Structure 1
Amino acid sequence: MLKPLLTAGVVLTTVLSSPATLAATFSRVFTFGDSLSDTGNVF
């Protein structure tokens, strides 16, 4: 009885919190990495 209730709670929490994460807007994306993540090194 506890497992289905816990599963329903996790699913409900995930469904209710997803609109908040989808509403986030990003104005910039920064990438930290090696030379392959550099846009000047395409080849």
Structure 2
Amino acid sequence: RASLGRYLEFYNGRRPHSSLDRKTPDHVYFNQPLLAAA
């Protein structure tokens, strides 16, 4: 389990993805603009 957690941290937090313009999934997800309340 620990090794799976380390891999997911690497994959989502440190590994750039070409489909995300060489950004990490975490960077893309956590840097989205906030939506205005309706």
The answer to whether the superposition gives a TM-score over 0.5 is no
TM-score by length of 1: 0.32
Bigger radius of gyration among the two: 1
Q: Which has the higher contact order (CA 8 A, sep 6+)?
A: 2
TM-score by length of 2: 0.36
